[in-house]
Homo-oligomer: A and B are copies of this chain.
Amino acid sequence: MAERKSVPDPTLLRICRYLRILERHGAPTISSAAIAEAAGVNAAQVRKDLSFFGEFGQPGVGYDVKQLLSSLKKMMGLDREREVIVIGAGALGSALINYPGFENRGFKIVGVFDNNPAKIGHRLRGYEVMPIDRLAEVISEHNVSIGIIAVPRQSAQDVADALIEAGVYGIVNFAPVTLKVPDDVVVRSVDLTLQLETLAFHLDN
């Protein structure tokens, strides 16, 4: 499926936004113009983004919301549950565990880890915090493919190495540091200050 591999990241991010718009849409059909308006892009962009995934919609009628949702979710790999673990039981880890979007979107948290003895064994929002040395066991038992790193920057590379060693090949990194990983591991970094910085630009203009 070479074509699927070549979908650019900005398109993937917009598709995820369209999914949210479709999910909230009350009517059975929607136009590319309506998706575009809700997403803050133009209709040509919406049509171009969707064209990466196939041919959808009918001229004059628009898109069948249910059908488009189901096709896009399937193509994005969001049509089934995935088991994820969170490493870091500090404020950020706690916020992530509590974030409504994860379970809603099929990401099931099956383990929360920390290396702080004061946290290990205690419950954090219903999850028992486990020591990092149980990482491999939990990953193997639950067939975890995604690890979410929410530790301080100094520990992030060590955690990434341990995840990869244990067979995880997808990482979402919230630590403000660039991780070094082998080519077959995919890292998506979330930098909590980036949007704040682009805002500074907009406020000046």
**Chain A contacts to B: CB under 8 angstroms:** 1, 4-5, 7, 9-10, 12-13, 16-17, 38, 75-78, 82, 84, 90-92, 94-96, 98-102, 105, 107, 145-146, 148, 153, 169-172, 176, 178, 186, 188-205
Contacts and interface: CB of A to CB of B under 8 A. Distances in A.
Given A101-B192, A101-B193, 5 more contacts: A4-B204, A17-B194, A77-B204, A188-B199, A190-B195
12 contacts: A1-B205, A4-B201, A13-B198, A16-B198, A17-B194, A77-B203, A99-B176, A100-B153, A100-B176, A105-B197, A145-B203, A172-B195
A5 B202 CA distance: 7
A89 to B, nearest CB: 11
Contacts of A186: 199, 202-203
Contacts of A38: 178
B98 A91 contact: yes
A198 B12 contact: yes
Contacts of A98: 90-92
A176 B10 CA distance: 19
A198 B9 contact: yes
Contacts of A5: 205
The residue among A5, A186, A193, A204 with the most chain B CB atoms within 10 A of its own CB is A193
The 3 A-B pairs at the shortest CB distance, nearest first, are namely: A101-B193, A188-B195, A92-B95
Given A91-B94, A101-B176, A7 B196 contact: no
